[in-house]
Amino acid sequence: MSHLCIFVMAKAIVIANWKMNPETASEAKRLFRAVVKGARGVKNVDVVIAPSFVYLNMFHVSSFRFHVKLAAQDCFWEEKGAYTGEISPAMLKNLGVTHVIIGHSERRMHLGETDEMVNKKIKAVLKTGLTPILCVGERVRERANEIPASVGEQVKKALAGLKKNEFKNGIIAYEPVWAIGTGMPDTAEGATRAALYIRKTVRDILGGKTADSLRVIYGGSVNAKNAASFISKDIRGMEGSLVGGASLDADEFVQIAKSV
């Protein structure tokens, strides 16, 4: 007698991280319009765009109309007050933002963001009812078959003090630093191994329900040619991608969304 194995895949998600681009509002509008137009043909994939803070307001209404979700690239952990230059999760929510990228390696490495700050931001984002996209990743490539222990540490510190089911709709992006913007992505095997390790780490600290319901995605030199290889087919490995450079080309980004 054969066993029937029912395996429930989470819906894939593709996130465009525009970083500090483009330079003008009209370029940003053009890019946004081209992406939402192309994304109309994309089924069963969540498409999320993370523009610079200054463009979020411009896309608020259109994102509802076109079923594209809006993300911020960062936020502050306090609710309000005398914090010059900072932006609260509530301000983002009021602009129609649904997701917030937290702990991107560019912030950790160049702007002094610590694990403790990442943890505070995750808590603030969850408290506001937004979905955090936690970024983790090792700086230097490990030898083949080695699991980067620093990634487990980052996950533990980022999620420290959370209640068991608080992160169940959260997203963790595995982004090896050496693969970001280098044109040298991880292999599908390497990224899958890291994704499984991340899910196991979450299982150990927040339990099986959260580990089974969160989404783990991959980021680092994803493009239209390789995006499909970063979606795990028959295990709960990777379920989407965080795309930097290639998301500034609307056609390429739409191709990525279609290919997953």
242 touching ligand PGA, by CB under 6 A? yes
3-state secondary structure of 230: helix
| Residue showing the smallest CB distance to ligand PGA in the complex | 244
Residues 163-182 that bind ligand PGA (CB under 6 A): 175, 180-181
**Active site includes 27?**
no
Q: Which residues contact 119 (CB under 8 A, 6 or more apart)?
A: 157, 158, 159, 160, 161
245 touching ligand PGA, by CB under 6 A? yes
Q: How far is the CB of 180 from ligand PGA (least distance, A)?
A: 4
3-state secondary structure of 72: strand
244 touching ligand PGA, by CB under 6 A? yes
Given the residues 113, 138, 175, 239, select the one marked as catalytic.
Answer: 175
Residue type, 227: A
**Active site includes 99?**
no
Residue type, 43: K
Helices in the chain by DSSP H: which ranges? Answer: 25-39, 53-65, 89-94, 105-110, 115-127, 149-158, 188-206, 208-213, 250-259
Q: Which stretch binds ligand PGA (CB under 6 A): 87-95, 188-196, 200-208, 214-222?
A: 214-222
Q: How far is the CB of 8 from ligand PGA (least distance, A)?
A: 27
15-54 footprint of ligand PGA as x/- string (CB under 6 A):
--x-------------------------------------
41 vs 9, 36, 97, 247, 258, CA distance in Å?
21, 9, 22, 17, 8
* Rounded CA separation 225/219 (Å): 14
Residues tagged active-site: 104, 175
Which residues of the shown chain bind ligand PGA in the complex (CB under 6 A)?
Answer: 17, 175, 180-181, 219-222, 242-246
